[in-house]
Structure 1
Amino acid sequence: MTNRLATLLGRSDEFNGTVGPALRHALVEVADSALLDLFGDPGAGIALIAVGGYGRGEPAFGSDLDLVLVHNGHRDDIARVADELWYPLWDVGVGLDHSVRTIEEAVTVAENDLKVALGLLDARLIAGDQTLAASLRDRVRTRWRAGAPRRLPELADMVAERARRHGDVAFLLEPDLKEARGGLRDVHALTALAAAWVAEMPSERVLAAYRMLLDARGEVRRLARGRAHDRLLLQDQDTIAAALGYPDSLTLAHATADAGRTISWTWDVTWYRVASGLRSSSRWRRGRPVRRHLDDGVVEQNGEVQLAREADPTRDPTLVLRVAAAAARADIPIGRFALDRLAREALPMPAPWPAAARDALVTLLATGTPAVGALECLDQVGLLVRLIPEWSRVRSKPQRNPYHRFTVDRHLMETAAGAAASTRTVDRPDLLLLGALLHDIGKGWPGDHTDAGVRVVGDLAPRLGLPPEDADVLVTMVRYHLLLPDSATRRDIDDPATIEAVARAAGSPRVLSLLHALTEADSRATGPTAWSPWKSRLIGDLVTRALAIYRGEQVPSPPALSDRQRTLLALPDDCTDDYVVEVNPLPDDGMFEIVVVAPDRPGLLAATTGVLALGRLDVRRASARSAGGRALLQAAVATTAGSARMPGEAPSPAKLRGDLRRALDGTLDVEARIAGREQAYAGVRRWSTPAPPQVIFDDSASLTVVEVRAPDRAGVLFRMVRALSDAGLNVHTAIVATLGLDVVNAFYVRETGGGTVTGRTRREEVASTVLDALRVPSEP
């Protein structure tokens, strides 16, 4: 018996190849059989009951056995029976969540402990007095229903707290399948609502999503060898996908995201209806429901959007969008009856769309954040894909990197919601909102998502009923939706060539303004690191300069040296140290300008970037100027995670100056120190194997631009700058961009003699030097 129980811990190979429901059934059989042997037949007045996950028949490797030994209060051998049950389980190492109680004691504890109450709702008799077990179940459920007005808000608070602590199953790289929003616990909460007779049992679609998560959790626990964690780790996803029959880990991630969204949406709409009923006591209210007109064929009833009596989805193709727009304007959900009827009866949208349908879509998007909930409602019953068939290619499609926090379709919804805040700053708010909704639609197709998006929107725009000139603007927005962030963060915005290229690509002030608003909304919807005051200022300055070109003004071009730079380069007569380091705060939160003035010498910029890396300062932009044998280096930096400084605390100029001098005279081995920090990066998990470093030459600027793309590592900028210096190039400006776990750095360089970098052989030599410097020690 004890050997069989050991299989529950996941430390044997007995169930290799058994997955999903078959695995859960096998584990239940093992546990039930062992407990029956231990329990025997102690007679009437006592029962062994499984509760919680074991009660539902859903154990996984390493799960605790949740057991209640219930008795009638008249047995004098309860302690002995309990000991004969618990000790053999403990000896084997099986985890127990156990209690010994009378029915009255169990009911009383459940009244005061929500988790106990929820566990008892799933009570299942293993052995013993059936009448006793049935009585406990009936008493618990009766009290649960009677206490619904008090207990259900407590349940909703528990669901909300789990969401705050664990995030969303649908949008996390490594979701907790049990505790996160849209996870297994949320389905348990839905069944608890049903047990209170205030909601229906979860639908088959929700139960299918639940089973998918249960299957994945079973394999998570198998790989963990029974350790009690339920996170779907990146490192395990290929193995789990193969075990469960998915083609690859991305398909598994897609299924997980879809399941999480189905469950979380169902909880939201169900709890909204239940909460409204609890507030208004609608289950006992008499009289006809009050309806408030919202739009043609659309009304509000009991805090939900419903169809008016005269509404006919079979004759009105725009009704779906009017319902969604009305729900978003009123910031209330679409009622399930209305959704189900629309899903059954709504007509396909004619092509091209009627103007009223397009206007309703724009009205919906213009509501901002409430539009996300309305679009989710349409999506969950298949109406959004019916309106825009291309949506099926991005629906619940994961973006598995730390940079994006949402699936592709949810990112598009969130971008459109964010763009609504800028509709008064552009002259075509309708095109801004449509562009925001569709800018990444190409991610559902193979190849470059921008190229695919241009093709998709080129076909879709006329079907939406847009005139050719508006369709051209929408396609241009999709083609250049990355123009401003890429140009501002990966090119020198002081270079006239950069400004002219942006103005030429956008083509008009209208499109440039639309791209400006789209860029901010897109970045804010991407993730917390994708938008910052620094990025906002760079893009704003770039747009202002590009707009000047449209007005026929001269492209703003800063002088070779500003008055301040000349002052810094001129060493004062009374200066006793020819190395000067200043630290100046920038208007962007937590950022500083580092100014270094030193004798001009090869390797100065590389040494400076290395010292900044050792100080855990993240360089965003660096430039170098020289005159009269002296060099001026300026770098915009931000404090990185792990710094010993307090947030917002400026780095010490004296320490930076001392470290720089020691780096240049050879007493501080920057490379060795940086190599010692490599281990800190080694534990960072990636969604996929990183692409090899790449070196690209760009001749569109006034100097040669060497763009280097590589996985982020400790001191990666130092390695790049030093390699360019070793290759005989002077770095004039370095533009640093970090995208998730990768960097895309652009270096404006010239040859030592002052010329551009030309010739295939010379460029191959430079690229080889850089790639050699970026090769990690383990690589051949």
Structure 2
Amino acid sequence: MTSTDAYTEARDPGPSGYAAARLRLLTEGARSGPPRRAALAELTDDWLAALFQAGAAAGGGLKGVSLVAVGGYGRGELSPRSDLDLLLLHDGGDAAAVAALADRLWYPVWDLGLALDHSVRTPAEARRTAAEDLKVQLGLLDARHLAGDLALTAGLRTAVLADWRNQAPRRLPELRELCAERAERQGELQYLLEPDLKEARGGLRDATVLRAVAASWLADAPREGLDDARRRLLDVRDALHLATGRATDRLSLQEQDQVAAELGLLDADTLLRQVYEAARVIAYASDVTWREVGRVLRSRAVRPRLRAMLGAGKPAAERSPLAEGVVEQDGEVVLARTARPERDPVLPLRAAAAAAQAGLPLSLHAVRRLAATVRPLPTPWPAEAREQLVTLLGSGRPTVQVWEALEAEGLVTRLLPDWERVRCRPQRNAVHLWTVDRHLIETAVRASAFTRRVSRPDLLLVAALLHDIGKGWPGDHSVAGEIIARDVAGRIGFDREDTGVLGTLVRHHLLLVETATRRDLDDPATVRSVAEAVGTQSTLELLHALTEADALATGPAAWSSWRGSLVTDLVARVSAVLAGNAPEEPEAAAPTAEQERLAVEAYRTGGPVPALRPQTEPPAGPPPPEAPADAPEPLGAELLVAVPDQPGVLPAVAGVLALHRLTVRTAELRALPLPDGVGGPVLLLDWRVAAEYGSLPQAARLRADLVRALDGTLDIAGRLAERDAAYPRRRGVTAPPPRVTVASAASRHATVIEVRAQDAPGLLFRIGRALEDAGVRVRSAHVSTLGANAVDAFYVTDAEGAPLPDEEAAAVAGKLEETLRG
């Protein structure tokens, strides 16, 4: 076949052309996964070989040239939109003829719209480039002959492998540093909601790196499950390419349902869970492999000196006892020679606790031996097993890597069968940094810092481990979690009283933060309801610590000094009730001098008078280890607004604050009587706000906009709509619909309407306007935003200040929900 014939066939859309054959292969629904990748690589091999042969013939039978596939194509891992990584290798002969051959190869590829990564080099140039560029070196390790001079390709492969093995002690540390930098940039695949399947830690790039390490003969990765994990990620990438029609490795939210359908999976959560499981296998194998590389390199550096000191022979590694049947060796925790896992069912927990306490990793060999031979623990567990679990959970940050080692070999689910439902389970909420299982371990890590604050640290740590265990079941995860926690507590050996406390902690692990941020703490009904749910001072103490640990483990958006201060205030009030001091009915607070001055000025001017006072908030509790101690929070302020009593005050103020990009934390509204002889009542709004970014606005600007909002000359709705149009939110992400409910018995003085909705600029403005239209008065608002979710509570009354009748309250809630859906 001539070069022209091959080129024409490549562009021919008919069944005989490469393009048509490729399209047919990619659209055959029954053929996917490794068979399709292999078939696509074979089809591409044949086409490129034909192009090469035609081009070589056209060049007068060019010799000393070969076409080599490298990188992913060299491994035969062609996804539908993969690049073709090609090397035209030559012996340094006729440069013009080689260049002409290259043109006959590259242009047909480009004309078909295929991405191409190409180079033209002699073997010496290829080796020199590989010595300078580690990525080129890795690509050449997978070199595969396609056409031309086989001996030339084989010679390069032999030389590259020899270079790699000879230079491994120097180049592997460089490769490890590159992997760490990439992980820092891309994050961990096993926790990301929109992961990069290739570049994130635990992705396809790391799987390739493990192959390179094995090729060095210096160390090898644990192979069990590694090929399946790599295949699963490749299958997902294939489906992603077909779903998007693009060469992308980013598994975006809007494409996950389509990718799941392409793979025949139930839904996007099932897809993510499979991705996370694969990533976890690769990430753990990477950890084990790099530890082995470090150990080998250290031993190579130390052994010559030891041999010189001790004479010939290999010195025995030092073994330091850590616990019964557990020793340290070469920087890892291994089993003692006398250990008998088949006779000691507590040994896995003892070894794990010893490793975490020492801050050392568990040896792969030790974990696998335990998984293969250890007997199940009896029910209930012996006291030592429960104590070792508590010790493991209380060891701080080292607990994470030890727990991951146990999970990698299935030991966690054998100890705690309920763990399987939360393992690798995604949390589709931007507030959460982790999967459910990692969040539980992260909560235990955070709780370990609070064990000196509670009288029963063991109950705190176990509650931290189990507080979200119900997320693997349908319904309210707190309700399901209580049932599971009570069962687990009994199985691991806690008595009936302790089991009851653990059940209460799991059932109410969200009670304090939700009540503190969404209810009026001055209302006695609020405090009494929490006291009734908690029951005892010791349980309240544990719940307070668990609340903070849970929030810190969720992510930076879930905890702040403001939330911490509200929770602490609530805990103090509930503690007083539990001590026998009934909460008193709150009396109307006398206005401060500043509030009275603002009210008088508002009455005399007939318009709003704002005062904005910046606040500095001390951090609540120790900062997380990853964050600097002086990490700033959003700039907060107290906003006081006095305005003559009139309709529309709440939506007007909320709308102006939204226009000035101020986030509302709490809002209170009350009528303030003026001094005798001055005039009628004035509304006083006492709000806590924070700037989304930048500095706080000036009070004069707020006042000018408030005047216009109240007299109707400022079109707040229109301005907010214009801003939304200028900065559109991400397409393809469908938020759940808003939900508005009436919280029964939450207060004796007002009706509490709770709104759960997607957070957006102007949401409080829309809610306030809808409540005004419903003819109710807002007494106070308690605003809480977690990531993209707003959960706001409004204390409303009728015109006379009384709670709404049940039917009217339900009607107001229904109308508000309908408005927010519109």
Using the size of structure 1 for normalisation, the TM-score is 0.94
Using the TM superposition, give the Cα deviation of residue 382 of structure 1 relative to its aligned residue in structure 2, in angstroms: 0.4
Select the residue among 605, 610, 631 that pairs with 1:581: 610
Partner of 1:294: 322
Q: Is 1:215 matched with 2:235?
A: yes
Select the residue among 81, 93, 115 that pairs with 2:113: 93
Partner of 1:651: 697
Deviates more, 1:79-88 or 1:692-701: 692-701
Q: In 1, are the aligned partners of 2:90 and 2:121 still within 8 Å (CA)?
A: yes
Q: In 2, are the aligned partners of 1:571 and 1:578 still within 8 Å (CA)?
A: no
Q: In 2, are the aligned partners of 1:710 and 1:744 still within 8 Å (CA)?
A: yes
Deviates more, 1:69-78 or 1:663-672: 69-78
Partner of 2:811: 765
Q: Partner of 1:650: helix, strand, or coil? A: coil
Q: In 2, are the aligned partners of 1:674 and 1:714 still within 8 Å (CA)?
A: yes
Using the TM superposition, give the Cα deviation of residue 14 of structure 1 relative to its aligned residue in structure 2, in angstroms: 4.7
Q: Is 1:345 matched with 2:392?
A: no
Report the CA distance shift for 1:260/1:364 in structure 2 as closer, same or farther (over 3 A): same
Using the TM superposition, give the Cα deviation of residue 64 of structure 1 relative to its aligned residue in structure 2, in angstroms: 1.8
Report the CA distance shift for 1:359/1:685 in structure 2 as closer, same or farther (over 3 A): farther
Using the TM superposition, give the Cα deviation of residue 570 of structure 1 relative to its aligned residue in structure 2, in angstroms: 4.2
Superposed CA RMSD:
2.2
Using the TM superposition, give the Cα deviation of residue 9 of structure 1 relative to its aligned residue in structure 2, in angstroms: 9.4
The within-5 A match list for 1:254-653 is 254-281=273-300, 286-555=314-583, 559-564=587-592, 566-571=595-600, 578-588=607-617, 589=633, 590-628=635-673, 629-640=681-692, 646=694, 649-653=695-699
Partner of 1:36: 49
The within-5 A match list for 1:97-112 is 97-112=117-132
Report the CA distance shift for 1:358/1:654 in structure 2 as closer, same or farther (over 3 A): same
Partner of 1:198: 218
Query: Structure 2: 5+ residue runs without aligned partners?
Result: 1-8, 12-16, 305-313, 618-632, 674-680
Report the CA distance shift for 1:488/1:684 in structure 2 as closer, same or farther (over 3 A): farther
Using the TM superposition, give the Cα deviation of residue 740 of structure 1 relative to its aligned residue in structure 2, in angstroms: 3.6
Report the CA distance shift for 1:682/1:79 in structure 2 as closer, same or farther (over 3 A): closer
Report the CA distance shift for 1:434/1:421 in structure 2 as closer, same or farther (over 3 A): same
Q: In 2, are the aligned partners of 1:481 and 1:519 still within 8 Å (CA)?
A: yes
Using the TM superposition, give the Cα deviation of residue 712 of structure 1 relative to its aligned residue in structure 2, in angstroms: 2.5
Q: Is 1:150 matched with 2:156?
A: no
Partner of 2:788: 741
Q: Counterparts of 1:623 and 1:201 in 2: how far apart (Å)?
A: 61
Select the residue among 711, 714, 720 that pairs with 2:758: 711
Q: Counterparts of 1:595 and 1:25 in 2: how far apart (Å)?
A: 69
Report the CA distance shift for 1:728/1:222 in structure 2 as closer, same or farther (over 3 A): same
Using the TM superposition, give the Cα deviation of residue 306 of structure 1 relative to its aligned residue in structure 2, in angstroms: 0.4
Q: Counterparts of 1:511 and 1:301 in 2: how far apart (Å)?
A: 42
Q: In 1, are the aligned partners of 2:383 and 2:493 still within 8 Å (CA)?
A: yes
Q: Counterparts of 1:269 and 1:562 in 2: how far apart (Å)?
A: 66
Using the TM superposition, give the Cα deviation of residue 343 of structure 1 relative to its aligned residue in structure 2, in angstroms: 0.8
Using the TM superposition, give the Cα deviation of residue 202 of structure 1 relative to its aligned residue in structure 2, in angstroms: 5.0
Query: Structure 1: 5+ residue runs without aligned partners?
Result: none
Q: Summarize deviations over 1:340-372 as a string: whole Å, max 9, x none.
A: 100100110111101001110111111111101
Using the TM superposition, give the Cα deviation of residue 755 of structure 1 relative to its aligned residue in structure 2, in angstroms: 1.2
Q: Counterparts of 2:30 and 2:214 in 1: how far apart (Å)?
A: 35
Using the TM superposition, give the Cα deviation of residue 713 of structure 1 relative to its aligned residue in structure 2, in angstroms: 3.0
Q: In 2, are the aligned partners of 1:693 and 1:711 still within 8 Å (CA)?
A: no
Partner of 1:2: 10
Q: Summarize deviations over 1:475-514 as a string: whole Å, max 9, x none.
A: 1111110111110111122322212222221111111111
The within-5 A match list for 1:114-193 is 114-193=134-213
Q: Counterparts of 1:9 and 1:636 in 2: how far apart (Å)?
A: 62
Q: Partner of 2:765: helix, strand, or coil? A: helix
Q: Is 1:750 matched with 2:778?
A: no
Using the TM superposition, give the Cα deviation of residue 772 of structure 1 relative to its aligned residue in structure 2, in angstroms: 3.5
One-letter amino acid of the counterpart of residue 581, structure 2: E
Q: Counterparts of 1:8 and 1:515 in 2: how far apart (Å)?
A: 64
Report the CA distance shift for 1:503/1:451 in structure 2 as closer, same or farther (over 3 A): same
Using the TM superposition, give the Cα deviation of residue 608 of structure 1 relative to its aligned residue in structure 2, in angstroms: 0.3
Q: In 2, are the aligned partners of 1:191 and 1:202 still within 8 Å (CA)?
A: no
Q: Counterparts of 2:23 and 2:408 in 1: how far apart (Å)?
A: 37
Using the TM superposition, give the Cα deviation of residue 576 of structure 1 relative to its aligned residue in structure 2, in angstroms: 5.5
Q: Partner of 1:320: helix, strand, or coil? A: helix
Q: Summarize deviations over 1:562-606 as a string: whole Å, max 9, x none.
A: 442653454159976742111111233321221111111111111
Q: Partner of 2:343: helix, strand, or coil? A: coil
Q: In 2, are the aligned partners of 1:757 and 1:763 still within 8 Å (CA)?
A: yes
Select the residue among 703, 724, 735 that pairs with 2:771: 724
Using the TM superposition, give the Cα deviation of residue 689 of structure 1 relative to its aligned residue in structure 2, in angstroms: 5.1
Q: Counterparts of 1:377 and 1:568 in 2: how far apart (Å)?
A: 65
Report the CA distance shift for 1:730/1:332 in structure 2 as closer, same or farther (over 3 A): same
Q: Summarize deviations over 1:739-764 as a string: whole Å, max 9, x none.
A: 3433221001111112110141x224
Q: Alignment identity in percent?
A: 50
Deviates more, 1:75-84 or 1:536-545: 75-84
Q: Summarize deviations over 1:250-283 as a string: whole Å, max 9, x none.
A: 2111111111111112111221221232133279
Q: Counterparts of 1:58 and 1:386 in 2: how far apart (Å)?
A: 36
Q: In 1, are the aligned partners of 2:51 and 2:104 still within 8 Å (CA)?
A: yes
Q: Counterparts of 1:423 and 1:570 in 2: how far apart (Å)?
A: 49
Report the CA distance shift for 1:129/1:616 in structure 2 as closer, same or farther (over 3 A): same
Report the CA distance shift for 1:258/1:709 in structure 2 as closer, same or farther (over 3 A): same
Using the TM superposition, give the Cα deviation of residue 534 of structure 1 relative to its aligned residue in structure 2, in angstroms: 1.2
Using the size of structure 2 for normalisation, the TM-score is 0.90
Partner of 1:54: 73
Partner of 1:67: 86
Q: Partner of 2:77: helix, strand, or coil? A: coil
Using the TM superposition, give the Cα deviation of residue 681 of structure 1 relative to its aligned residue in structure 2, in angstroms: 7.8
Q: Counterparts of 2:264 and 2:801 in 1: how far apart (Å)?
A: 60
The within-5 A match list for 1:665-680 is 665-679=711-725
Q: In 2, are the aligned partners of 1:698 and 1:707 still within 8 Å (CA)?
A: no
Q: Counterparts of 1:573 and 1:663 in 2: how far apart (Å)?
A: 16
Q: In 1, are the aligned partners of 2:607 and 2:707 still within 8 Å (CA)?
A: no
Using the TM superposition, give the Cα deviation of residue 710 of structure 1 relative to its aligned residue in structure 2, in angstroms: 2.3
Q: Partner of 1:700: helix, strand, or coil? A: coil
Q: What is the number of residues matched between the two proteins?
A: 768
Q: In 2, are the aligned partners of 1:569 and 1:630 still within 8 Å (CA)?
A: no
